[in-house]
Amino acid sequence: MEELFYKSTRDNSIKVKASQAILKGLSDDGGLFIPERIPVLEKSLKEIAGMTYQETAYEVMSRFFTDFTEEELKNCISRAYDSKFDTDVIAPLVEADGAYYLELFHGQTIAFKDMALSILPHLMITSAKKNNIKNDIVILTATSGDTGKAALAGFADVEGTKIIVFYPKNGVSAIQEKQMVTQKGKNTFVVGIHGNFDDAQTGVKKIFADKEFAAQLDAHGYQFSSANSINIGRLVPQVVYYVYAYATLLREGKVADGESINVVVPTGNFGNILAAYFAKHMGVPIDKLICASNDNKVLFDFFENGVYDRNREFYLTTSPSMDILISSNLERLIYLICGEDSEKNKTFMEQLSKEGIYTISDDMKAQLKDFAGGFATEEETAQRIRDLYEKTGYVLDTHTAVASAVYEKYKENTKDTKKTVIASTASPFKFAKSVMQAIDGKEEQESDFELIERLSKTANVTIPNAIEEIRTAPVLHDHICEKEGMKDIIKEFLGI
């Protein structure tokens, strides 16, 4: 197989192997690694329809990670997608009210981030061996709620690694916070910051770009990498489940071979929908990629008018993992639609950093025809949870409900009746209070765990192990810092 190299979105002259891109996470120039071409699937979707999730993962990932041997990659896959998922099929497809919900929350932290973060530690350790890395790898991550716990669970007590997670102190759900602050593992550190997710993400990016700090770390036997979706080792495993979803529809006779489908993704940092875009370019017949936003509708406005503008009010919503105004992964799409012109892309990103806004050209806008934007208000999100439950008994979490509400509006506006897959990104148990409020239509007075018991009866679903585990777990992480103090707390943790 021809080797696939990775370029930086801000400097085309940078060219690294997949394992090097995974190890670094972010390019030294602040750019994101992107494959020099999106590879096509080697096997037909009809052939893939007869495969397990693990076999599908190998078919997709082997096209991207060409410097991994078959044995190395299959070992990573088998260790990732095993009994820690509570269903053998890993990503079930459930039909409800005329759409197919791709349930991506059956991993150990009950959110879609498990799909990629179960394999990333194995990819990273394999990459370190391949590149003769002697330093310990320090995973530095900002989270809007789900990445943090999934990364912590993935890297806990993994030899040769440490993981530091920053989250907005008042910007995640009570269950999300409890999942993180109770995390075991001698190499895990969790810090709440006074600020929002964008502050945490900007702080992490600045630390990655600090060459002096990198030299200091190196002298102490450490080097940074990222578990955020900016890491190509996070993005590629996400492509797998869109290929698998189409293959499942094909196997079950829900679509004819080659029949186009639409995909709806609740979107914050743009990684999950970008993975669907990659799947489309690999050969999956996806027509529209419907990007669903909550009240923080920076992406909806971008798809409407070609202007990305983060200078706006920031809302804390019931779908906190989407409360984001700087969608980092959009940079990869901007790079692709500006003709892979790294200088042009760099200018846009500098404008975003300095002025908080950039405007793409009409030519670039024309290349966004694959996408449709939509948004759902808090009221529409709650209404959709209630309506779907009353109609079918199926219960959505708040993020999936944003996507479902956007899809209902899209259908009404366009009369597009194609079969549609909706990425179901989290278990409703993770957001029990908001979900039960939506179903009951009233303010809930019970504790989170009382609400979880009631949700279990309402949805007729067993409480996931991930929730049971944290019910009585002690708080092990209670650090809080200002956004300006992130570097100091890293030094403290690492003893520098």
Residues annotated catalytic, as ranges: 113
- What whole-number distance in Å separates Cα of residue 450 and Cα of residue 442? 16
CA atoms within 13 A on the CB side of 240: 32
- What whole-number distance in Å separates Cα of residue 64 and Cα of residue 493? 35
Give rounded-to-5 percent helix, strand, coil for the chain: 45, 15, 35
Place of tokens 């949700």: 455
Q: At what angle do helices 432-440 and 378-392 cross, to 10 degrees?
A: 70
- Local structure of residue 243 (DSSP, 8 states): H
Pair of tokens at residue 442: 């009233």
CA atoms within 13 A on the CB side of 382: 17
CA atoms within 13 A on the CB side of 377: 3
What order of strands is seen across the sheet that includes strand 161-168? Answer: 222-225, 136-142, 161-168, 188-194, 479-482
- Is residue 11 within 8 A of residue 27, CB to CB? The reply is yes
What order of strands is seen across the sheet that includes strand 6-8? Answer: 11-16, 6-8, 33-35
φ/ψ region of 495 (left if φ > 0, alpha if ψ in -120 to 50, else beta) reads: left
Burial-class residue 193 by CB neighbours within 10 Å (0-12, 13-18, 19+): buried
Q: What DSSP string describes 53-65?
A: HHHHHHHHHHHH-
CA angle 229, 124, 9 (to 5 degrees): 45
Pair of tokens at residue 433: 């209070």
Residue type, 268: G
- CA dihedral of 308, 313, 319, 322, whole degrees rounded to 10: 30
Q: At what angle do helices 398-414 and 378-392 cross, to 10 degrees?
A: 90
Q: Among 262, 279, 276, which Cα is nearest to 60's?
A: 279
- What's the length of the chain? 496
- Is residue 60 within 8 A of residue 243, CB to CB? The reply is yes
- What whole-number distance in Å separates Cα of residue 410 and Cα of residue 423? 16
